[in-house]
Chain A
Amino acid sequence: MSIDRREFLKFAGASTLLGLGGITAVQELLKTSAGASHVMVDEKALSAKRWAMVIDISKFKTEADYKNVVQACHSIHNVPDIGNPKDEVKWIWTDTYEHTFPGQGNEYMPEGLKHKPFLLLCNHCEQPPCVRVCPTKATFKRKDGIVMMDQHRCIGCRFCMAACPFGARSFNWRDPRPFIKEQNPEYPTRTMGVVEKCTFCFERLAKGLQPACVEKSNGGLIFGDLSDPNSEVRKVLSTHYSIRRKPEIGTQPSVYYIIGGSENA
């Protein structure tokens, strides 16, 4: 059967129309949300323009003060205790003044500070270099300033670990599950081959709770909205002298340290 030019054009036009209809049908199929369903943020959720944390060093006196905070974080987030510095996974940990604030110490600083442990965690930088280098956007900065990790997307390339100037990220060299003493069924574990770090307890903020470490710190850690002049963090920062880690790099960390305590303010 042969068709003339006119027949062909008619057929082609009709197929185009049908084709367009086909595309909308495909789009319709891709839309899997049933009917009027939608997602929303919990009404109880805490929100901010820029979350920040202030660490008041004077409130940490005994070893137990540090341990409580670290324990609170690591137990609820199923952070494994591998017991080997090479494979170690950590979200919040301690180190010396010299390591925490390189170049900011001097020979005759108070003895108490020289050997005092300092709490370290992800700084949730304003300009996070880890986010810039992540090839899969597994790590990203949320609108509220939290530098988040999407473990589903992490391919374990560890560019972010190389980029982070604070060593805040840990890589899972081994399956973490056997090293978790007591699993918290509320929160997932991680798997071998992904990077992880502190998330400012985004899952607790979503439920209207303060981060776990802040809750357990007896006022040593203060958490709040840096953009709100009436927030607790702003009040503390405006009345105390504070320093941040490696400010010269320009990443603008959101974790502030009050070194002298209130008497030296």
Chain B
Amino acid sequence: MYNSGKIITGLIIFVGLVATPFFYNSGKTSVKPEPGIDTPAIRQLAEKQCVEPREFMKANHMQLLNDWRDSAVRDGSRIYVNSQGKQFTISLQNTCMHCHSNKAEFCDKCHTYANVKPYCWNCHIAPKENKT
């Protein structure tokens, strides 16, 4: 085999480089984020439920927000009636963030963990963090 020394050394260096991130992160535990829902507005709720059940919101909040923005901006329908028949005003800034005023704790924690960068806050005004 011609140049076997060079090839094998090259391969070893290549594999080493490719595997660097794995070595770098091995042994580190990544903690699953637990978004906090402890805000003054939520504490006062008798029944601590979002516009839809928690499991649904966990899986579908992005789709729900997308549907909300379409129905509010494009169709002018601004009242959301949830599966229990309760009514909510469709508004990220005024409905969602009223309860979830702890944006850093509630939104950013998971989004940072999942490396998702939604651009909602380029326009929508994030609530001033209530640290009480």
Contact = CB atoms under 8 A, between A and B. Distances in A.
* A, B from the same assembly: yes
Interface of A: 32-42, 45, 78, 140, 142, 144, 148, 150-152, 183, 185-191, 202, 206
A152 B73 contact: yes
Interface in B78-132: 78-83, 85, 89-90, 93-94, 119, 122-125, 127
A236 B90 CA distance: 35
Interface of B: 52-53, 56, 60, 63-64, 67-69, 71, 73-83, 85, 89-90, 93-94, 119, 122-125, 127
A38 B81 contact: yes
B93 A186 contact: yes
A34 B80 contact: no
Contacts of B83: 34-37
B77 A34 contact: no
Contacts of B80: 37-39
A34 B61 CA distance: 11
Contacts of B123: 151, 188-191
13 contacts: A32-B64, A33-B67, A34-B52, A34-B56, A34-B60, A35-B83, A40-B79, A40-B81, A41-B76, A41-B79, A42-B89, A185-B127, A191-B122
Contacts of B89: 42
B52 A37 contact: yes
Nearest 5 Cβ contacts at the A-B interface: A35-B83, A191-B122, A32-B63, A39-B77, A188-B123
A38 B93 CA distance: 20
Classify the interface of chain A: helix, strand, loop or mixed.
loop
A198 to B, nearest CB: 15
B86 to A, nearest CB: 10
Given A32-B63, A185-B125, A41 B78 contact: yes
A37 B50 CA distance: 13
Given A34-B56, A151-B123, A186 B94 contact: yes
A39 to B, nearest CB: 4
Contacts of B125: 78, 183, 185, 188-189
A41 B122 contact: no
A197 to B, nearest CB: 14
Nearest to A194: B123
Question: Which residue among A32, A35, A45, A202 has the maximum number of chain B CB atoms within 10 Å of its CB?
Answer: A32
